[in-house]
Amino acid sequence: MKGNLFLVFVIIATTTLACGLSAPALPTATETPIPATATEVPPTATFTPIPTLTPIPTATPIPGTVVLDFIAQLCNAKWMNGGQKFASCPDANADHSKGYAIAIDPTSEGLPAGTPVLMTIPAWNGFAALFLRYPALTIQAGDRFRATIQCQSTSTACDVSFGLDYYDANGKYHSPLGMWNQNTGMTPTVIDFDLSSLAGQNVDLVLAIRPNNSSPQFDAGLWIAPQVFRPGK
């Protein structure tokens, strides 16, 4: 029986091939593509601009000329107190009771080297002031008296009046043109004084120091960079 069935299968297969018929194709497995994993685009970085720093403006020096340097001309000034005239720029070992003035080392006052500093001490010999009368100067409109004033740091009982006085062309004394008080412990005073009221006049300017106490020998007053400045182009 099995032999007969095999024979029938062979006959059918032979007949199919003989007739040019193709054997049915076996179904091909269809692969489902795996979707690609989405790649996230990184967000665009946000940059905060660095602010531009505005530089602090520096003070522009005013052009001009120093027409009187009170320290450079110290020995050309006439020295006097309330009742005496005496030699200018006496020896350092001379009697200072008549009053005294000398340029000192600025570093002793904590100032930069090279800063011009004039120390003045009023008389204590029965008179009580010091006046330094400078050579004549013709004042122009806009001229300014400039200085910074203070008591010497080592003076523990300083109490003085700094003055700017003058003699006119006829020799008449005018006091004060300007006056400023200082005592121990005070903040230094910066002076920028307009001299235009004297414009056109030929005057002898005077630096004056007067004590406001009973111990003038301890009243060491400092004039830092005293000058007459003339603005110009």
Whether 218 maps to a domain, the answer reads yes
DSSP 109: G
* Residue at 103 is within a domain: yes
Is the confidence at residue 66, as pLDDT, over 90? yes
Q: How far apart are CA 198 and CA 183, in angstroms?
A: 29
Nearest one of 199, 207, 128 to 166, comparing CA atoms: 207
Report pTM: 0.74
Q: How far apart are CA 142 and CA 204, in angstroms?
A: 18
CATH label of the domain that carries residue 107: 2.60.120.200
Residue 199 lies in a domain: yes
Residue 133 clears pLDDT 70, i.e. is over it: yes
* Residue among 96, 207, 93 nearest 160 (CA): 207
Question: Taking residues 205-218, what's their average pLDDT?
Answer: 96
CA–CA distance, 125 with 61 (Å, rounded to integer)? 44
Structure tokens at 205: 């300017």
Range of the domain at 116: 64-231
Given a cut of 80, whether residue 50 has pLDDT beyond it is no
Is 4 a domain residue?
no
Q: What is the 3-state secondary structure (H, E, C) of 11-54?
A: HHHHHHHHCCCCCCCCCCCCCCCCCCCCCCCCCCCCCCCCCCCC
Task: Look at residue 77 and tell me if it is in a domain.
Answer: yes
Question: Whole-number mean pLDDT of the chain?
Answer: 83
Are 179 and 161 within 8 A, CB to CB?
yes
Written as six digits, the tokens of 194 are: 């307009």
Residue 50, domain member (yes or no):
no
Number of domains in the chain: 1
Residue pLDDT, tens place only, 71-114: 999 999 999 998 999 999 998 888 999 999 999 999 999 999 99
Residue 116 has pLDDT above 70, yes or no: yes
Report how far apart, in Å, the C-alpha atoms of 42 and of each of 39, 45, 46, 48 are: 9, 9, 12, 18
- 42 domain residue, yes or no: no
Q: Percent of the chain, pLDDT > 90?
A: 70
Average pLDDT value for residue range 181-189: 97
Q: Is residue 53 part of a domain?
A: no
